[in-house]
Amino acid sequence: MRPLITRRTLIQVILLLVGLILLGYFIVTSGIIENHQLLTTVNISLLGVAFILSLGNILVKVYRWKYLSACYSQPISWKEASLVSISSLFFANITPGKIGDLYKAYFMKMRYGLNFLDGVSMIFYERFFELSILFVVATGIAFTQLQGITVIILEITFLLLIVGIFLYYKVDTFLRIVQKVLVKLPLPLQNEGLDLYIRKIPLFDILVVCLITLVSLVLEFIRLWVVVIAFGYLLNPFLISIYMSLAIIIGLVSQIPLGIGAMEGSLNHFITSMGVPSAVALAIVLVDRMISMYFALVLGLIFSKFSFDALQEV
């Protein structure tokens, strides 16, 4: 009999609770509760612009998956690309380390019969370039205030990138070793034909995926900058981009679903260091997260229902 709560689920719940406690702490100590009226002074028109930028970012991610699918000889429509990409925004963000993003590989296998490892490869290109660009932008902190914790975060990120590059070039060797072991075992896979192989796309397509990812992140940086302006502060957009990149990386390293608490707290600290009152800084962060990550989470939950229906049609 399977346990009602698995160890993985328990860890996920604990991490989420830790994140919520952190977020609650930052809300209480920031003074935003006593100064809640500052939310009524925000420029609604600019928030509308920020929301459009958030939608544009989602659209770019949909196009990236559509492009990658074509690279792997499995072209799909905008509708199908939207189903799988937006659905994954829910599964990825409710799981530690965004492991739920593997839903995209599962969807492509079940819907189109695409090799699961090909789907994993597509996800790898997405995540690798996102992390690479964030790291490059975040290194700009060296020209502002290089503190101990930021050095540690950048070192961890750099190490992950090195490991990712190494695995990318050596993964075929590892898979051949695994395959030699598996073929000797009495597994059901024997009857289906076991073929562990990672397909890599041409350099031109790699550069295009990198460019699409860059556009996606630039839209995120601009959105936060617009939200800051909506609260009446004109801050350096390049510094905002650096701090946002660091906050995203901190959220990823924390392994907390949504990076909740870790990302809000770190970004609040960075914006406060730019001369913005703590209550206003946290309001900026919460509003930005509301129209980006939390909105994407709800949208992903809705789309996941349609993607399940699409899988049932197969």
DSSP 244-283: HHHHHHHHHHHT-GGGTTHHHHHHHHHHHTTT--HHHHHH
Predicted pLDDT of residue 209: 92
Predicted pLDDT of residue 176: 54
Q: Which two tokens stand for residue 144?
A: 């502002």
The model scores a pTM over 0.75: yes
CB-based burial of residue 204 (10 Å sphere; 0-12 exposed, 13-18 middle, 19+ buried)?
exposed
- List average pLDDT for each run of 10 residues in the chain, which is 314 residues long: 58 66 67 66 90 94 94 90 90 78 88 85 87 81 57 63 62 52 44 55 89 94 94 89 87 77 84 87 89 88 84 72
31: in domain: no
In this structure, the dihedral spanned by the alpha carbons of residues 216, 222, 224 and 230, taken in order and rounded to 10 degrees, is -140
Predicted pLDDT of residue 136: 81
262: in domain: yes
199: in domain: yes
Predicted pLDDT of residue 204: 92
Predicted pLDDT of residue 221: 94
Number of domains, the chain: 1
The C-alpha angle 240, 226, 57, rounded to 5 degrees, equals: 90
Predicted pLDDT of residue 185: 42
Side chain identity at residue 75, one-letter code: P
104: in domain: yes
Predicted pLDDT of residue 189: 43
34: in domain: no
The 8-class DSSP code of residue 258 comes to: G
118: in domain: yes
Predicted pLDDT of residue 41: 78
Predicted pLDDT of residue 42: 85
53: in domain: yes
Burial 46-58, CB ≥16 within 10 A → b, else e = bbebbbebbebbb
The 8-class DSSP code of residue 72 comes to: T
> Domain range holding 151?
39-312
Q: Which two tokens stand for residue 136?
A: 């490059």
24: in domain: no
Predicted pLDDT of residue 262: 80
